[in-house]
């Protein structure tokens, strides 16, 4: 996938959600492996392979320590750029992301005031030094799109968690949603797939049109495009 969705030339953004029926991505204690089944997880690896970059929030790295590589069969010719949104440099140098640089490059999107000494100085690691978003202490996603574009990223898969996903939605950057839904209920104390949007009127809610529904084992895979 290398189409550019927006007239500005920013990368096309796909939001991937892997949730319970009630839209939860983890238990209150953070446990999230695994909500969806093997077929859904394999589809997510193919989605990773078909995007130029994948991104997660710092809390997801702290909770799950993911590799974020695309592990398809056969393996893809090229790994996506793996990006972590880590404004305050909370992800430790020991994170698996940084120990797998031979698999493909990693970008840390962090505040422009951050001290780079805290990260390992290794080939394959790049830094996107960004201002904070308006009214936020985290990096600006709009500025991040410019860095991604400069890095040759035309398509980006947002893999969560809920806070980062909500920021992308609030910024109006989500072009497509790939939603994997497992037939389990995790309840209101589980972690939501989407953080607060702060909506005051229903007609302000971002709308999507469903483009397909597939069965993946016990799970459903729904695809949506922005209206
Ligand atoms: N089921 C699944 O497929 C799945 C997928 C992903 C995650 N999860 C689960 O979700 C949980 C983590 O989700 P979460 O919502 O708590 O955290 P998250 O979205 O992964 O990370 C949130 C952090 O990202 C950083 N960030 C940087 N730029 C941001 C921006 N512009 N907007 C928002 N955040 C930004 C912020 O920290 P700084 O300000 O310090 O940068 C923020 O605290 C974990 O339990 C994980 O297991 C499940």
| CATH number, residue 212 | 3.40.430.10
> Is 139's C-beta closer than 6 angstroms to any atom of ligand 1?
yes
- What span, in angstroms and rounded, lies between the C-alpha atoms of 173 and 112? 22
Please check whether residue 126 lies inside any domain of the structure: yes
Output the residue whose Cα is nearest ligand 1's atom 29: 138
Please indicate whether residue 36, judged by its CB atom, sits closer than 6 Å to ligand 1. no
Quick check: is 7 in a domain?
no
Q: Which of 38, 138, 167 gets mutated to test ligand 1 (max ligand atoms within 8 A of its CB)?
A: 138
Our CA angle for 162, 133, 174, nearest 5°, is: 45
Is 172 part of any domain?
Answer: yes
User: Counting atoms of ligand 1 from 1, which one is nearest the CA of 36?
Assistant: 1
Q: Is residue 2, in this structure, part of any structural domain at all? A: no
Whether ligand 1 lies within 6 angstroms of the CB of 20 is answered as: no
- pLDDT, position 87: 97
Q: Are 180 and 213 in contact (CB under 8 A)?
A: no
194 Cβ inside 6 Å of ligand 1: no
pLDDT of residue 117: 84
- Strand extents, DSSP E, 131-218: 155-158, 176-182, 191-192, 208-216
Residue 5: the pLDDT is: 46
This prediction has a pTM of 0.96
> How many A from CA of 166 to the centre of ligand 1?
9
Query: What is the distance in A from the centroid of ligand 1 to the CA of 50?
Result: 22
Structural domain boundaries enclosing 37: 12-226
- Determine the longest span between alpha carbons in the chain, in angstroms: 48
Output the pLDDT for position 215.
97
- Mutate which of 140, 159, 160, 192 for ligand 1? The one with the most ligand atoms within 8 Å of its CB, which is 160
Output the pLDDT for position 15. Answer: 98
Is ligand 1 within 6 A of the CB of residue 58? yes
Does the beta carbon of 52 lie inside 6 Å of ligand 1?
no
Q: For each of the chain's 227 residues, which pLDDT tens digit applies?
A: 433 345 578 999 999 999 999 999 999 999 999 999 999 999 999 999 999 999 999 999 999 999 999 999 999 999 999 999 999 999 998 999 998 899 999 999 999 999 988 777 777 899 999 999 999 999 999 999 999 999 999 999 999 999 999 999 999 999 999 999 999 999 999 999 999 999 999 999 999 999 999 999 999 999 999 99
Closest CA to 159 of 23, 27, 57, 10: 57
- The alpha carbon of 163 and the centre of ligand 1 are apart by a number of angstroms equal to 5
Structural domain count, the chain: 1
Position 4 in a domain: no
Query: 193 alpha carbon to ligand 1 midpoint, in Å?
Result: 10
Q: Is there a domain that residue 45 lies in?
A: yes
In a domain, 1, yes or no: no
């Amino acid at each position: 996938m290398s189409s550019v969705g927006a007239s500005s030339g920013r990368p096309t953004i796909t939001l991937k959600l892997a949730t319970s029926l009630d839209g939860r991505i983890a238990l209150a204690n953070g446990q999230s492996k695994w909500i969806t089944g093997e077929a859904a997880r394999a589809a997510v690896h193919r989605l990773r392979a078909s995007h130029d970059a994948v991104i997660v929030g710092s809390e997801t790295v702290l909770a799950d320590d993911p590799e974020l590589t695309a592990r398809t069969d056969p393996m893809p010719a090229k790994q996506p750029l793996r990006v972590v949104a880590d404004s305050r440099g909370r992800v430790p140098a020991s994170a698996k992301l940084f120990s797998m640089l031979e698999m493909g490059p990693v970008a840390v999107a962090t505040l422009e005031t951050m001290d780079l000494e805290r990260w390992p100085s290794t080939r394959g690691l790049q830094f996107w030094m960004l201002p904070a978003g308006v009214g936020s202490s985290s990096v600006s996603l709009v500025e991040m799109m410019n860095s991604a574009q400069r890095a040759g990223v035309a398509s980006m898969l947002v893999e969560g968690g809920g806070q980062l996903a909500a920021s992308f939605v609030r910024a109006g950057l989500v072009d497509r949603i790939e939603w994997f839904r497992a037939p389990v209920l995790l309840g209101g104390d589980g972690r939501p797939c989407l953080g607060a949007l702060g909506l005051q009127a229903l007609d302000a809610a971002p709308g999507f049109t469903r483009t397909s529904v597939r069965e993946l084992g016990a799970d459903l895979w729904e695809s949506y495009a922005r209206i």
